[in-house]
């Protein structure tokens, strides 16, 4: 996985690597020998912490949190890294943060939409839904979560995606009040 940070304020020329981030404007994460990884989304909290979500070739999902300086944040799961592996497999598509620093993930599992919540310390939040994850079979066929956002005023989580007939893309589901 790789994360780049660019300037937009002109201090280092707009669109240039921000050298305050890991000393070079970029960080990478290697999942291990022979394991390819790719990033599926990124979210930045108001405190500057950077959340990166991705998937590896071996089917594992990974969540990483970096400090504003581009260093893995060890207050997140003790290492800055959290793996998220389930059966059936969860295909993470997007991430969003709420004002408390909780991370929401959406995507697809077993032809259903899922929404998972992790607390600010990086643990799956078992107070949310059934053990930290809720699923929704919107159409009775193939359903996919492709976008997620949290309304900062109400805490309500919204998910968009694709679904097989009889419903058609685009659609949105106001999930649960997540406060």
pLDDT of 179: 47
Pick from 51-60, 116-125, 164-173 the range whose average pLDDT is largest. 116-125
pLDDT of 167: 53
Q: What is the mean pLDDT of the chain?
A: 83
Task: State how far Cα 104 lies from the chain centre.
Answer: 6
Task: State how far Cα 27 lies from the chain centre.
Answer: 17
Using the structure block, give the residue that is written with the tokens 């909780």: 102
Dihedral sign (CA 18, 23, 29, 30): positive
Q: How much is the average pLDDT of 136-144?
A: 71
Q: How much is the average pLDDT of 13-26?
A: 87
Pick from 150, 149, 152: which is nearest to 161 by CA? 149
Show the tokens assigned to 7.
Answer: 């300037």
Q: How confident is the model at residue 149 (pLDDT cuts 50, 70, 90)?
A: very high
Residue 87: CB partners within 8 Å, gap ≥ 6?
Answer: none
pTM for this predicted structure:
0.84
Q: Could you tell me if 92 and 101 are in contact, meaning their C-beta atoms sit under 8 angstroms apart?
A: no
Burial (0-12, 13-18, 19+ Cβ within 10 Å), 120: middle
Res 29 pLDDT > 90: no
pLDDT of 87: 61
β-sheet bridge partners, residue 109: 112
Beta strands in 45-170 (DSSP E): 50-56, 61-66, 81-84, 91-97, 103-109, 112-118, 133-136, 143-150, 156-163
Dihedral sign (CA 57, 126, 94, 80): negative
Q: How confident is the model at residue 12 (pLDDT cuts 50, 70, 90)?
A: low
Q: How confident is the model at residue 174 (pLDDT cuts 50, 70, 90)?
A: low
pLDDT of 13: 66
pLDDT of 93: 87
Q: Higher pLDDT residue, 114 or 52? A: 52
């Amino acid at each position: 996985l790789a994360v780049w940070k660019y300037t937009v304020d002109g201090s280092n020329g707009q669109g240039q690597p921000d050298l305050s981030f890991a000393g070079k404007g970029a960080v990478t994460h290697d999942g291990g020998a022979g394991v390819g990884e790719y990033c599926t989304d990124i979210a930045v909290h108001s405190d500057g912490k950077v959340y990166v979500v991705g998937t590896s070739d071996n089917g594992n999902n990974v969540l990483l949190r970096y400090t504003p300086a581009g260093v893995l944040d060890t207050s997140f799961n003790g290492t800055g890294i959290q793996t998220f592996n389930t059966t059936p497999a969860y295909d993470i598509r997007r991430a969003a943060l709420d004002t408390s620093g909780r991370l929401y993930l959406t995507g697809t599992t077993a032809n259903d939409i899922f929404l998972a919540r992790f607390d600010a310390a990086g643990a799956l939040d078992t107070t949310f839904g059934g053990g930290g994850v809720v699923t929704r079979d919107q159409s009775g066929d193939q359903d996919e979560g492709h976008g997620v956002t949290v309304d900062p005023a109400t805490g309500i989580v919204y998910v968009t995606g694709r679904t097989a007939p009889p419903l058609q893309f685009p659609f949105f589901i106001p999930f649960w009040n997540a406060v």
